[in-house]
Amino acid sequence: MRMMIRVFDTQNVFLGYLSSPDLGVADVALGRDKQNDSIGAIVDAWTWVGDVMPEGATALLPLPSGAYRVEVASQKEFTPGVYPQDFEIFDLGTYNILTNNGVQNETLMNDMVSRASF
């Protein structure tokens, strides 16, 4: 199953998949681990510094300062994986990303992840 963290602008235009310096691009074949019932929930804390990987691109794109909407999309079981119909989508809200002379300030994703169950 596939899990994605997708970034949109304020006009709902898809800009790319969130990218984290420590975990990479958030378009992965992870899905849910239903076999893990002994240690509780496993949460990856994605750290976002403002970069996205546009669909079909080979390099990260740094976003300029602005407001961006973030969503988590988790593929439903036994589906072909066509977005959006085969995914459960969790809208995590809109966040302001600030730059300082072109250098992205770190924005932690911990509060976003805690609002979605995936």
Every domain of the chain and the residues it spans: 3-114
pTM of the model: 0.75
Q: How far is residue 100's CA from residue 56's CA, in Å, rounded to a whole number?
A: 28
Q: Residues 37-61: pLDDT tens digits?
A: 555 555 556 777 788 999 999 999 9
In this predicted structure, the answer to whether residue 7 has a pLDDT above a threshold of 70 is yes
| Mean pLDDT computed over 65-78 | 90
CA distance 53 to 56: 8
Residues with Cβ < 8 Å from 115, sequence gap 6 or more? 90, 92, 93
Task: Using a pLDDT cut of 90, give the percent of the chain over it.
Answer: 36
